[in-house]
Chains A and B, each alone.
Chain A
Amino acid sequence: MHPNEMISAYLDGELTRAEASELFVHMGTCGKCVGEMETMQKVRTAIRSLPLIELPPGLLGDAEPVVVPLRKNRGFWVGAAAAGIAVVIAVATFLTPSPSAMSVDDLNSRFGARVSLDPAFGPAKVVVPDVRDMTE
């Protein structure tokens, strides 16, 4: 059973952490869903690239429109980057009390590789799967 609908929800930043973990555990062994993620991302980007249509002059009468961004929610990338950075900071803070015990190389080898793989998969890859999360 492929978690198809979770793919779009993940791209929209609408999955819980537990659901994202579940999705990525599945994708670790399912090339079909990895391909589906790439395809859905392209379609989503294409729809979001539709140009803004300006209001016909005079449609609102005296109520001149205020120029506000059409889309108010943050892009997926902003959310993903913010989540990734937050986890990196949390990990670094946790490790700080014993700086001599771990070099930057050690840190990179333990956590950096996972963070830097692909920002699209940031939030799930930097989250260490937690059995309690999976059973929520």
Chain B
Amino acid sequence: MTESVPLTWEEVARVYGRKIYNFAYRLTGNSDDAADLVQEVLLRVRRGLASYQPGSFEGWLWRITRNAFLDDVRKRNRRPVAPIPDDIERWDVASSPGADVEYSRISLGDDIQKALLELPIEFREAVVLCDVIGLSYEEIALAVAVPIGTVRSRIHRGRKILKELLT
């Protein structure tokens, strides 16, 4: 898919900032980590736009985003303590402004969010890119650098595991 390319990173931030944040939030389950990830992605976009080759902008952007997420996961895995929170009460949402409002919105889907965090990363990212961000299988395949058949399999298996976790 060929799309018009935002010319500046500020435009990428304006148009995609909220999507990147939601992707990051659903993958990490944590507002601080999500905010850090958004800033890291925008930094990489800023560096990468100079050498961007016209093509699927969304594929390019989401590849940068998921790579930033995976780099962060690898970094955390090298540290001795970085457990994924399994209890919403422990989530650090109280430190940001408007946390009460955010918390009440999060709690509506907390079971699903908790289940998402239990999914293996490759299934979690495929399901989130499909169901939260709304990418096509082709765009997900570009972002994750796997064949479309693998995307299809990961989304279905991811949803099946979620179903088991939610019942």
**A→B interface (CB under 8 Å):** 4-5, 7-9, 12, 14, 39-40, 42-44, 46-57, 59-68, 70-73
CB distance from A70 to the nearest CB of B (A): 6
Within 8 A of A (CB), among B30-44: 31, 34-35, 38-39, 42
A45→B37 CA distance, assembly (Å) = 27
Chain B positions within 8 Å of A54 at CB level: 18, 102
Given A8-B152, A39-B163, A44-B159; A55-B137 close (CB under 8 Å): no
CB nearest to B137 among chain A residues = A14
17 contacts between A and B (CB under 8 A): A5-B153, A5-B157, A14-B136, A43-B162, A47-B116, A48-B131, A53-B21, A53-B31, A53-B34, A53-B105, A54-B18, A55-B21, A60-B13, A60-B38, A60-B42, A64-B14, A68-B19
- Chain B 102-136 near chain A by CB (<8 Å), digits 1 or 0: 10011011001100100000000001001111111
**B→A interface (CB under 8 Å):** 10-11, 13-15, 17-19, 21-22, 25-26, 31, 34-35, 38-39, 42, 96-98, 102, 105-106, 108-109, 112-113, 116, 127, 130-137, 152-153, 155-157, 159-160, 162-163, 166
CB distance from B126 to the nearest CB of A (A): 10
CB distance from A32 to the nearest CB of B (A): 13
CB nearest to B135 among chain A residues = A73
Contact B13–A63 (Cβ < 8 Å):
yes
CB distance from B45 to the nearest CB of A (A): 11
Given A43-B163, A56-B35, A70-B132; A12-B137 close (CB under 8 Å): yes
A43→B137 CA distance, assembly (Å) = 18
Identify which of A44, A48, A52, A60 contacts B17 (C-beta below 8 A): A60
Chain B positions within 8 Å of A50 at CB level: 26, 109, 112-113, 132
14 additional contacts, CB 8 Å, given A39-B163, A65-B15? A5-B157, A8-B156, A9-B137, A12-B130, A43-B166, A47-B132, A50-B132, A53-B34, A53-B106, A59-B38, A65-B17, A68-B19, A70-B18, A73-B135
Identify which of A12, A39, A44, A56 contacts B97 (C-beta below 8 A): A56
CB nearest to B15 among chain A residues = A66
CB distance from A108 to the nearest CB of B (A): 36
CB nearest to B101 among chain A residues = A54
Identify which of B10, B35, B130 contacts A59 (C-beta below 8 A): B35
CB distance from A91 to the nearest CB of B (A): 29
